[in-house]
Structure 1
């Protein structure tokens, strides 16, 4: 393969999208990438002018073109930020004016919402790691607040992003900061960063999360005695591994549809995942390789339950095709057999995460009660 002409490249981030003009013989209008925030790089004269006007009209916000007509006279624009869910505007290319169309959640006022701040730190082995911390007003006023560490799912190719996050805003409204670390194997930071996390799930990927916690403590934002870890899917697995790997770092954890046993997790793959089984072996662990199989056992929390000392709340959808209910049943059964009390919420009309409003409401009521009890807040 030969590069004919390099249109755009970034040393640190992957290109996330590009757009071609239907009107102007498919001229390249813009490329975009996601760094600390989403960045649009206009390339055509049309989009250079529009981008300049959007930046001037909505400073400090993320502005994206949702769509436009074939004649490029009317554009649909969305404006959002860490404190704005999203507001739609129409842009008239003739008059050069923006007009408000629709505010997604007008009952939420920007000044009442918490700040999501991009952070960057060095891992213990020298990688540059990016992430975000959502800070309640008490933290901005110099108070050390309780922290909820929230590793993302995936883990491969997924990343946390800057913008309005209902969950971190909920936690902030109760006085908690939320830390989200784009640990190695996260997407958007180039192939080397992605591959640095291969065979490191539950190991160096967890080190990156812990290094992020240490960074947050060093900045004076959080109370080091009141830190919880909570996540879904791989984030639920990371919760269990956090309680195993660094039992003194966290005061409690919430495992939401998380993997507890890599062996049974692989055996329970749904049909639509089976074509990717060889790829998963390359990214996670090859259980046919004795050395890697031994590592997989070491980083399967169900085999390390003697190391779990802090309160744990487990949540599961009974019909989950991705992380079978057996993953949660195993860890709960094993811990209860040791006399360890584990509250366990199972919903029989849910799958990989709760989607029914009544179940989500019950989950967050229970979770906030669990945090209030164990973070004493």
Structure 2
């Protein structure tokens, strides 16, 4: 399955006395228990059902493990990464190898590796420099090869190759000079492709015998570009499923008869987009779909799955998702999210309706005072509904009602993207901040995905304006609802959330008490100049939704929306974290605003990690930055914190500026 979508840009202080009295009855959860390595995660069952796999620490670094399905206790590690964690893995169709992608230091030049589950032999299938691999297609029928995309010939475009898993042989199937993505059927025959349009939309074409049809199968404009795309073919190749918003607001699940072109609506929901489904493992016919408005839910379309989904809903406490299925579809791995307990993975045997817990992701959090998350519908000033998520500290939610019994300091936690969304479920940042005494609010501001094309388009050309107004409106809602007070609100986020932090402090300089920016762009013009070459296909959509740097009007807009140009307005404390190898938001984005603030003697603390990219993958680095963050927030919001202690020592943190402005940081560096 291939999605045609715009790539995401962006993804020791003493405890004040009054804070102690508010939260002393709630034990402090050590940040290492929240941000350290999970015990196990990313569970998968092999297509033949004989093996289980997951990612777990080996000598302190996440590696791939395998175990016989009949005896999970006999698990053994297959890889031996020493520094950078392997964050996920998937099974080869023949169940002989576990495969994963890995980059170097966060540069996002992902290469594809495989490791034999019996011999342990490891193979680099794409031994190229400055190359980013994409898995184009796998099949339940063709077991000995997969399709991959490689941009080693032209960094902008991915050529499609057939990869023989036993030998590693790559055979070129399609030389790509301008197509954005590809779709293959169960026989691994290329059947579809997409080409970007000058208006930011896409043209979709069928392929026949390796050649692109002259006439497009479908034309999609900018408004539908993020909510319309082909999903997958049925096994017989006669039906093509789409997620499709043409002629409606939210994207529906459609089935297209390939021969006639006729479209049939399979399912739709006026509240939210349908972009994900479960398909029969043999026929490829859709069996159920997933929709997420306030919370995620499965809706059965096939009697074959209806009983299973009803059984799981009745017998599982919390949200669940089907993470992995065998080819015979007799066994599933089910990921369970109770929100107020650590997520777990269960084995579900369909024939006997038997559920067996395989592991808890973070068993050290079992019994910890985790807080509930409450979905909210907040009205923006122009009437738009903002689906948001609120977590209250225990002291402000003693009765578990979700209504604040007294105000608490608030952290506005802004998601990245911006073409992404926040959802309901266990969230380590919400739990950490709530445990420190803060209310936490995450807002799906306009431009967020999942709520229909109109909601996305409402964010066009609104970076730092209406998108930011939504965040301010949510803060005002929190103040009016008694969740917090106007003088105790911080803003924090990564990627676009980092931009929102900088915009908050520069454009609304007295609204927030302080801000924490993680890999956020400060200069939208230079951001668009330095996007990775493999995002060429999405460039026009960026321009149409953000501002076009090739026109005078676009340049003026980008200048006006860049916090860097208003750095002199910043009045409140700012902490910045940045990966030196970030290919999406170049390190210069943070360097620029730190230099501008330093030139004006405006306090800013700047921490750089030389072995990270767009976010912090290594737990020692994430823990180090969060140690600085929680002590920074404690001073700003009068919350509580765990001292920095020795958190920086195992990390690669380099404090480039302003150590004196973050409590305990200078001492921790000694």
Short-chain TM bin: over 0.9
Of residues 546, 550, 556 in structure 2, which corresponds to 1:284? 546
Q: What residue is the counterpart of 2:271 in the other structure?
A: 12
Structure-2 residue corresponding to 1:343: 605
Q: Which has the higher strand share?
A: 2
* 2:468 equivalent to 1:206: yes
SS of residue paired to 1:168: helix
1:264 CA displacement: 1.4
Question: SS at the partner of 1:5?
Answer: strand
Q: How does 1:133-282 map to 2 (within 5 A)?
A: 133-141=390-398, 142-156=405-419, 158-282=420-544
Q: Which residue of 2 aligns with 1:42?
A: 300
Distance change >3 Å, CA 329–CA 4, structure 1 → 2: closer
CA deviation string 1:53-111 (max 9, x = no partner): 1121124x112222333443333222113223322222233332322222222221266
Q: Distance in 2 between matches of 1:276 and 1:64?
A: 30
Q: Distance in 1 between matches of 2:449 and 2:406?
A: 33
| Distance apart, 1:172 and its partner CA | 1.2
**Secondary structure, counterpart of 1:223 in structure 2:** coil
C-alpha distance in structure 2 between counterparts of 1:65 and 1:175, whole Å: 34
Q: Which is helix-richer, 1 or 2?
A: 1
1:21 to 280, 286, 304: 280
Alignment check: 8 A CA contact 2:570 2:602 kept? no
Task: Return the alpha-carbon distance in structure 2 between the equivalents of residues 297 and 27 of structure 1.
Answer: 49
Greater relative contact order (Cα < 8 A, sep 6+) = 2
**Rounded Cα–Cα distance in structure 1 between residues aligned with 2:597 and 2:279:** 55
- 3-state secondary structure, aligned to 1:117: strand
Per the alignment, do residues 289 and 110 of structure 1 end up closer, same or farther by CA in structure 2, a change over 3 Å counting?
farther
Cα distance in 2, alignment partners of residues 111 and 365 from structure 1: 19
Computing the radius of gyration from Cα coordinates, the structure with the larger value is 2
Cα distance change on mapping 1:27 and 1:288 into 2, 3 Å:
closer
Between stretches 233-242 and 214-223, larger displacement belongs to 214-223
Contact 1:185 1:196 in 2 (8 A): yes
Structure 2 unaligned segments of length 5 or more: list them.
1-217, 219-260, 399-404, 640-670
Where 2:534 maps in the other structure, the secondary structure is: helix
Change (3 A) 1:96 1:350: closer
Question: Which residue is 2:342 aligned to?
Answer: 85
The answer (yes or no) to whether the contact 2:507–2:566 under 8 Å persists in 1 is no
Aligned-partner Cα distance in 2 for 1:20–1:143: 48
Deviations 1:287-326 (A, max 9, x none): 2332332222111111112221111111111111111111
Shift of 1:169: 1.0
CA distance in 2, matches of 1:231, 1:178: 12
CA-based RMSD of the aligned residues comes to 1.7
d(CA) in 2 for partners of 1:71, 1:337: 65
Question: 2-side partners of 1:210 and 1:297: how far apart?
Answer: 22
* Structure 1, unaligned runs of 5 or more: none
Aligned residues: 374
- Tell me which residue corresponds to 1:33: 291
Deviates more, 1:288-297 or 1:340-349: 288-297
Decide which moves more: 202-211 or 63-72.
63-72
Which of 125, 130, 137 aligns to 2:382? It is 125
Match of 2:59 in 1: none
Shift of residue 186, structure 1, vs aligned partner:
0.5
State the distance in 1 between where 2:296 and 2:638 align. 37
Report the TM-score, using the length of structure 1 for normalisation. 0.94
Aligned-partner Cα distance in 2 for 1:223–1:230: 17
CA shift in 2, pair 1:288/1:26, >3 Å = closer
Q: Distance in 1 between matches of 2:279 and 2:539?
A: 35
